[in-house]
Copies of this chain bind each other. A is one copy, B any other.
Amino acid sequence: MRSVCVVGLGLIGGSVLRAAAAAGRDVWGTTGSTADAQSAIAEGFTVVDVDTALRRAAAEDALVVIAVPLPAVDGVLRKVGDLAPECLLTDVVSVKAPVADAVAKYAPSAQFAGGHPMAGKSVSGWEASAATLFDDAAWVVTADEETSLFAWREAAQLALDCGAGVVPTTTQEHDAAVARISHLPHVMAAVLAACGADGGPLAMALAAGSFSDGTRVAGSRPELVLAMCEGNRPALLDAVDDALGRLGAARGALASTGSLGATVQSGHSGRVTFDSYRTAGRAQAMVDLAGEDPMEELRLVGTRGGRVIGFDGDMAVVTLPVLSD
């Protein structure tokens, strides 16, 4: 099994290190946090400085996993370009276009496929990490026109070894999707929380379930929310424009006819759709990776809401959602 070098040992990076080790891989890591490094070493993990970690990755042909916050990605990739320029490379950052751009700029010879495990916790840092964090989670591995099947499959195998299912999709489609289902929810929660608090002590005393649920993620650490949302600016702008249009239409209908019927019905329909995916059955299929255009076949799996759950020789084993009516 290919060894793994994890750069950044917070919640996600630490969990990748633990899960890859638990899967039997040779692993080592590096982190700018002395406290996280000491904790990981005390647990028996190998943690070294970033130069040593990347030199070892180059020497052992390891898979390098970038697991630092988006603002730190450029700096790490400069190091990769210097010390392990042709390495196998993936990342676990929540926005994919800026990482792909930085790879093209600083480590253009790396064999890269981007990654994003859809797993998290309200707490962060090594101490919160766990080998089981990714169990049954969706883990995007980007399959762009320029992505090599080799790099894609190496990144996908890591995700599978960590217990996740692999969602193949393009950088652009990933960023558009997470803008709607992850970043827009943070913006809406922030707007709702501010509107509620503006109602003063009476409103706060009366607030219950609907306000509490709708504003939960507004309690997340602002710097993490900002790094994520601001890093996905073009796609988030599209999503916010969609929300503005719908909220404006609701306002107009309420003011003119007094009806919120279209708004509430489309929202109910959207939530029912979401629930139907969560409870969907799963049909198994295969993608022949030795076929004519395997990357296009893989992208179709992602577009249809499916996942790669394993490899069998040159075949990718796939599950696709089967919605009940």
- Could you list which residues of chain A lie within 8 angstroms of chain B, going by C-beta atoms? 118-120, 137-138, 140, 167, 169, 173-174, 176-178, 180-182, 184-220, 222, 225-226, 229-230, 233, 236-237, 239-244, 246-248, 250-251, 254-255, 258-261, 263-275, 277, 302-307, 321
Contact = CB atoms under 8 A, between A and B. Distances in A.
Contact of A196 (B180, B191, B261): B180
A248 B191 CA distance: 10
Given A190-B263, A268-B222, A138 B205 contact: yes
Within the oligomer, what is the number of copies of this chain?
2
A187 B270 CA distance: 13
A62 B303 CA distance: 63
Nearest to A186: B210
B206 A177 contact: yes
B305 A218 contact: no
8 contacts: A120-B208, A167-B206, A193-B269, A225-B260, A229-B264, A230-B259, A240-B247, A244-B248
A233 to B, nearest CB: 6
A206 B140 contact: yes
Contacts of A275: 219
Contact of A271 (B174, B206, B218, B273): B218
B225 A274 contact: no
A270 B218 contact: yes
